[in-house]
């Protein structure tokens, strides 16, 4: 029986030289407790008690040492190195948090990089060390553990049922239906309250999906600079520009529907089904919102007159009323009727004549 509180000698597996050396070293030290294990003092008392009637010790289920101690020592060094690296990376994380100034975009980028890298390395080393520990040092055996039945003994269950029933009677919950029913009634509104929250998903769109901010006489202004345009300003065939209704430059909700592109063509290029009465001087205006799922569709090839959607490659023919040539969009881009006002600027004749953007259930 070892005085240091180790397992009895006869139960120690793998009697390598290493274990013996540790035993001898342990003789000179006072017993100490390893974190997370039973107190060695208790173990000492338990194991040192020489009781003549004590049952013979149960054989170990798990080996105390891995089979190859040299390999285990190597794995131990690797794991310890990884844990030290994890610790250093953890300190680096704290240092990055304290040391890297923020408050400008560039500095935040650098701070994020340092924080992310150090935390990643710390967790990675910790995880790798743990996995190597488990795989190289811990035993890999299958154990069958016998469990007691989960149900309580019959006596306990009867006693509990009786206590419950007596409690229910003593509380008067069963005898006094008025109390019981009013209590239930009191909780009903609280139970209904979450259902009411669904109301905040509204209001219903009603007809807002069918209309945009364009009105008769609304000027077309260049998106970004809000300058109105005369046909003479936009006189180069092959030209394309995004326009918005004047006065709505800060209204994102309306701009999401009203964004429009105008394209200038050479005479004779525009063909049906383009509505020629809705064009001015070979300038045609189409909705910029793709009829598929509403991406801003403005990749315009002036050689082929194709308008492409960057999201799903729907392709529209700008010379033929933006009819669909290719892709998942099922309807042409709506054409905005345009004309010029008294001052000569491009204006809308009216709103779009059909809903812009993607389909919706009630669109018809």
Partner 1 sequence: MSWITARRRHPAAGYAVVLLGLIAIGIVYAAFTAPGSPASAAAPAAARQDIAEGQALFARTCATCHGMNAQGTSAGPSLIGVGAAAVDFQVSTGRMPAAEIGAEMDRKPPRFGAKQTHELAAYIASLGGGPAIPAPEQVAAAGANVALGQQLFITNCAQCHNFVGAGGALTYGKYAPPLTASTPTQIYEAMLTGPEAMPLFNDSTITPSEKRDIAAYVTETRAEPNPGGFSLGRVGPVTEGIVVWLGGIGLLVASAWWIAAKRREQA
Q: Which residues bind partner 1 (CB under 8 A)?
A: 67-68, 106, 109-110, 112-113, 127, 131, 135, 140, 222-225, 229, 232-236, 238-242, 263, 296, 298-304, 306, 308, 310, 315
Q: What is the DSSP letter of 202?
A: -
What are the backbone dihedrals phi and psi of residue 300, each rounded to the nearest 5 degrees, phi first?
-110, 125
> What is the rounded distance in angstroms from the CA atom of residue 46 to the CA atom of residue 41?
9
Least distance in angstroms from the C-beta of 54 to partner 1 = 35
Least distance in angstroms from the C-beta of 294 to partner 1 = 14
| Helix 69-99 with 17-28: angle, nearest 10 deg | 60
Least distance in angstroms from the C-beta of 316 to partner 1 = 11
Nearest to partner 1 of 4, 92 (CB atom)? 92
Neighbours of 79 (CB within 10 A): 20
Contacts of 299 (CB under 8 A, 6+ apart): 307, 308, 309, 310
Nearest to partner 1 of 4, 258 (CB atom)? 258
Least distance in angstroms from the C-beta of 360 to partner 1 = 24
Least distance in angstroms from the C-beta of 276 to partner 1 = 21
The H or E element containing residue 145 is none
Nearest to partner 1 of 78, 240 (CB atom)? 240
DSSP characters over 2-64: -TTSPPPGGG-----HHHHHHHHHHHHSPP-PPTTS--HHHHHHHHH---TTPPPPPPPSS-S
Nearest to partner 1 of 161, 253 (CB atom)? 253
Nearest to partner 1 of 171, 236 (CB atom)? 236
Nearest to partner 1 of 185, 343 (CB atom)? 343
Least distance in angstroms from the C-beta of 224 to partner 1 = 5
> What is the rounded distance in angstroms from the CA atom of residue 68 to the CA atom of residue 65?
8
Beta-bridged to residue 261, according to DSSP, are 242, 286
């Amino acid at each position: 029986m070892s005085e240091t509180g180790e397992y009895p000698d006869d139960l120690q597996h793998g009697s390598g030289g290493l274990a013996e050396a540790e035993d001898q070293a342990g003789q000179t030290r006072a017993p100490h407790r390893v974190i997370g294990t039973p107190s060695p003092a208790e173990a000492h008392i338990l194991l040192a008690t020489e009781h003549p009637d004590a049952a013979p010790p149960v054989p170990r289920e798990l080996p105390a040492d891995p089979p190859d101690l040299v390999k285990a020592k190597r794995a131990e060094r690797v794991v310890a190195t990884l844990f030290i690296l994890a610790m250093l990376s953890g300190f680096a994380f704290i240092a990055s948090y304290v040391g890297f100034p923020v408050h400008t975009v560039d500095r935040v980028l650098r701070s994020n990089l340092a924080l992310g890298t150090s935390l990643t390395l710390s967790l990675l080393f910790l995880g790798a060390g743990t996995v190597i520990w488990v795989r190289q040092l811990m035993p890999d055996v299958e154990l069958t553990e016998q469990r007691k039945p989960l149900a309580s003994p019959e006596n306990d269950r009867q006693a509990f049922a009786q206590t419950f029933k007596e409690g229910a009677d003593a509380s008067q919950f069963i005898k006094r239906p008025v109390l019981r029913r009013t209590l239930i009634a009191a909780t009903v509104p609280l139970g209904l309250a979450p259902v009411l929250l669904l109301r905040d998903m509204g209001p219903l769109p009603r007809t807002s999906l069918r209309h945009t901010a364009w009105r008769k006489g609304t000027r077309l202004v260049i998106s970004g600079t809000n300058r109105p345009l005369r046909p003479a300003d936009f006189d180069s065939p092959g030209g394309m520009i995004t326009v918005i209704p004047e006065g709505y430059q800060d209204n994102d909700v309306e701009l999401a529907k009203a964004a429009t592109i105008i394209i200038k063509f050479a005479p004779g290029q525009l063909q049906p089904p383009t509505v020629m009465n809705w064009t001015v001087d070979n300038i045609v205006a189409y909705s910029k919102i793709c009829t598929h799922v509403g991406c801003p569709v403005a990749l315009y090839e002036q050689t082929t007159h194709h308008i492409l959607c960057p999201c799903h490659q729907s392709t529209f023919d700008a010379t033929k009323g933006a009819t669909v040539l290719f892709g998942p969009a099922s309807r042409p881009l709506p054409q905005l009727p345009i004309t010029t006002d008294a001052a000569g600027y491009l204006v809308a004749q009216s709103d779009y004549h059909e809903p812009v953007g993607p389909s919706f259930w009630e669109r018809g």
